[in-house]
Amino acid sequence: MKYDLEDRTAKFAEAVIGVVGKIVVSPVNKRIIEQLVGSSGSIGANYNEANEGESKKDFYHKIQIAKKEIKETQHWLRLLAAANPELREVVRGLWAEVHELLLIFSKILSSRKNEN
């Protein structure tokens, strides 16, 4: 089976959209939703850009940006759970997936050090 990180990052963003699409929009939730959808979608967008990078340096730069988006997504997931306690279990599942993505992207970046 071929491992497809592009598909995995897209499915993660789709899962986030599915969850936030069911939330009652309040001023607090509106801000969290906008930020969360943006950062979760940026993970895959930056990974896709990395794969089209013009050099190894460009590739690793885009991977670093994707990793920053992962960390931002973790932040917004935490706030989503705080603002909507009834979603804690659902958010926990999203958190587990984004944590795995963090480990994967961290490993990609650590492999750069082994290339030098």
Report domain extents, the chain: 5-115
pLDDT tens digits along 42-95: 999 999 999 998 999 999 999 999 999 999 999 999 999 999 999 999 999 999
Tell me which residue of 33, 12, 32 sits closest to 101, measured CA to CA. Answer: 12
Mean pLDDT for the chain? 94
The pLDDT assigned to 113 comes to: 67
Angle between helices 56-83 and 88-115 (to 10 degrees): 160
Distance CA 77, CA 84 (A): 10
- Joined together, the tokens standing for residue 9 give 């990052």
**Is the model's pLDDT at 26 over the cut of 70?**
yes
Question: Per CATH, is 5-115 categorized as 1.20.1260.10?
Answer: no
Q: Residue 91 contacts by C-beta under 8 Å, 6 or more apart in sequence?
A: 19, 77, 80, 81
| Global model pTM greater than 0.85 | yes
